[in-house]
Structure 1
Amino acid sequence: MIRFLAAMVAAATMFIASPAAAYWEYGHGLIARIAMNEVQPETRAAIRALLAQGDLIETPECSVATVEDASIWADCIKPMGDRYAYAFPWHYQNVNICKPFDLGPACEGGNCVAAQVERNARLLADASLPTSVRVEALAFLLHFVGDLHQPMHAGDMADRGGNGVAALYGVIDETNLHAIWDGYLAERAFTTPPGGPDGVVTGYSRSQLDEFKQGDVVDWSREMWGVSKDYAYPLLLDTDPCDAEVERPVLSASDIETLVPVMRDSAVKGGMRLARLLDDALIEGKAPRFRRF
């Protein structure tokens, strides 16, 4: 009977929120809304004005009507095939946690999330560009800052961001480390009271929030790589991840309790940093310089 109930709970959970959909809703949307609440009024008005012209990018099946919609646009367009196939590698950077941090190999040719955060911030800041280009850049930027602050997009063990690490999450056994962070853990972290964009930010001082805005994409990448290295893998595997040979490990209740504040902290940092990039681009016309990683 217990096994039957567990199976029913697992099935119900799968229908309620798949891992992909859960991070879309609870991760990207939350970080975008934190940023929208944080930016200057002029920036907020400029964002709304750009999104109001979302029809210019001609993706009617993928709305950018709100910042929450726009924050998942870069995932929504993936099924469009050749039209946006070039953007597939922009969502992540697989920097090996078992080696010293080095963003260069993962960002060859600018094909990584850190490089694309900077590139789209530059496009957004350039008021001479067509509005359609800047709307698309805004949607990419809203999404990619979120991706950068999902640690499984920042560091891995040559296992496709944890997709190759089969794992158990409670009674849910058809999952992996990446899906846990993308979906189940994200939903848990961002809805645990106090939840939502206002609730998740509660408890941080103004000085802490301002401090989160410091640094650049390399600093932020190193930090999220460190979360993957110090939390995501070792808590799941219960050992040094670089020496581990564990089959189908379980993320325990105590592990989840430890990871919830870590994930919330990453989201708040992402929201603050996104707000800084948006203020810089839309008020001052300032954006990160081009660099080779």
Structure 2
Amino acid sequence: MTLRTALTAAALAATLTLSPSARAWGPLGHRLVADLAWDGMTPQARAAALDLLAGEADPSLAGIASWADELRANDPDLGRRSARWHYVNIAEDGCHYDTARDCPGDDCVVAAIDAQVAILADPGQPRAKRRQALKFVVHFVGDIHQPLHAGRADDRGGNTHQINIDGRGSNLHALWDSGLLGSAGLGEAGWLARLRQSTIAADAPARPGSPAAWAEASCRILNSPGFYPPKGTLDPAYGERWLPVVERQLRLGGRHLAGVLNAALGG
């Protein structure tokens, strides 16, 4: 299947019909980041993660990767308190992250990753708190690699940028969450095989870096020419251009998550 065949307007429309507009990557993307991270984890870090996840319905990184998005339904209080931890708005400020300006009260994805990693890495913390921190870390590292989670406040991370695909209304955030991934017609196993066959570009950082740096890099993608399509009917060529970027961000997310978990869990 070629990209041109897969990324038809009809395929995108069918995918976006099922796409929640407020979830970075959607469940598939988050699972893929977690699967790729597992590939890069040390035996010690894997064992520690599995120990913390014992008793979960799906005791795997992929199995808990979307947990933080499900809090609004399953734990409304924690869902409200953690709502702003999924994103940071820096695109209107030249993609430069400034803690005081962009994350007052440490209420953004950059600070949330740092805070939850610190809890996860502390063996003196209660087991339940470390397990929760692991769930947050897996999810938020995925979030920060979706460009629209380091985007603009004035359009709510692309949620109000309306587009039309094959006669169906949607928005840019939904397109990046799962529309582009779903349009290729691959399930989790197919996508994972495809992502594992590719390598990250040589200019990718060898070390995990910092959440602030990841946010700034994601934001620069969003500020690239052509990222924002004209409102209205979406040209199918948009998918052909940007799907490779989606793939690279998923691979980077997995690589960075593995580095974070190796460091936090004694790898």
Superposition TM-score, scaled by structure 1 size: 0.77
Provide the C-alpha distance between the structure 1 equivalents of 2:203 and 2:31, rounded to a whole number of angstroms: 19
Contact 1:193 1:199 in 2 (8 A): no
Task: Determine which of 121, 124, 132 is the counterpart of 1:136.
Answer: 132
User: Quick one: structure 1 residues 129 and 192, their matched pair in 2 at CA, closer, same or farther if it must change by over 3 Å?
Assistant: closer
Percent sequence identity over matched residues?
A: 30
Task: Determine which of 48, 51, 73 is the counterpart of 2:50.
Answer: 48
- How does 1:91-130 map onto structure 2 within 5 Å? 91-97=86-92, 99=94, 101-104=96-99, 105-130=101-126
- How does 1:6-17 map onto structure 2 within 5 Å? 13=15, 17=18
Stretches of structure 2 that go unaligned for 5 or more consecutive residues are 1-7
Deviations 1:116-166 (A, max 9, x none): 111111111001111000000000000000000111101125210011111
Larger radius of gyration: 1
For the residue of structure 2 that corresponds to 1:211, the secondary structure is coil
Provide the C-alpha distance between the structure 2 equivalents of 1:96 and 1:215, rounded to a whole number of angstroms: 20
Contact 1:190 1:264 in 2 (8 A): no
Deviations 1:84-130 (A, max 9, x none): 32101101112134645234322111111111111111111001111
Provide the C-alpha distance between the structure 2 equivalents of 1:22 and 1:155, rounded to a whole number of angstroms: 12
Q: Which consecutive segments of 4 or more residues in structure 1 shift more than 6 A?
A: 6-11
Provide the C-alpha distance between the structure 2 equivalents of 1:263 and 1:250, rounded to a whole number of angstroms: 21
**Corresponding position of 2:59:** 65
Corresponding pairs, count: 257
Question: Are 1:265 and 2:237 counterparts?
Answer: no
Provide the C-alpha distance between the structure 1 equivalents of 2:58 and 2:187, rounded to a whole number of angstroms: 27
**Corresponding position of 2:180:** 185
Contact 2:97 2:212 in 1 (8 A): no
Deviations 1:202-222 (A, max 9, x none): 2316x9498353421121111
For the residue of structure 2 that corresponds to 1:174, the secondary structure is strand
Displacement of 1:226 in angstroms is 0.4
**Corresponding position of 1:229:** 223
Which stretch of structure 1 is more off in the superposition, 188-197 or 84-93? 188-197
Contact 2:9 2:236 in 1 (8 A): no
Question: Are 1:280 and 2:253 counterparts?
Answer: no
User: Quick one: structure 1 residues 181 and 100, their matched pair in 2 at CA, closer, same or farther if it must change by over 3 Å?
Assistant: closer
User: Quick one: structure 1 residues 210 and 127, their matched pair in 2 at CA, closer, same or farther if it must change by over 3 Å?
Assistant: farther
Task: Determine which of 158, 161, 165 is the counterpart of 1:162.
Answer: 158
Provide the C-alpha distance between the structure 2 equivalents of 1:39 and 1:134, rounded to a whole number of angstroms: 18
Provide the C-alpha distance between the structure 1 equivalents of 2:260 and 2:117, rounded to a whole number of angstroms: 7
Contact 2:58 2:64 in 1 (8 A): yes
**Corresponding position of 1:39:** 41
Provide the C-alpha distance between the structure 2 equivalents of 1:192 and 1:203, rounded to a whole number of angstroms: 17
Which stretch of structure 1 is more off in the superposition, 72-81 or 265-274? 72-81
Contact 1:148 1:224 in 2 (8 A): yes
Provide the C-alpha distance between the structure 2 equivalents of 1:167 and 1:217, rounded to a whole number of angstroms: 30
Provide the C-alpha distance between the structure 2 equivalents of 1:116 and 1:209, rounded to a whole number of angstroms: 27
Displacement of 1:37 in angstroms is 1.2
Displacement of 1:255 in angstroms is 1.4
Indicate the structure whose relative CO is greater, using CA pairs within 8 Å and at least 6 residues apart: 2
Q: What is the alpha-carbon root mean square deviation over aligned residues?
A: 3.0
**Corresponding position of 2:31:** 29
Question: Are 1:18 and 2:13 counterparts?
Answer: no
Q: Tell me the amino acid that sits aligned with residue 35 of structure 1.
A: A
Displacement of 1:189 in angstroms is 6.1
Deviations 1:36-61 (A, max 9, x none): 1111111111111111044xxxxxxx
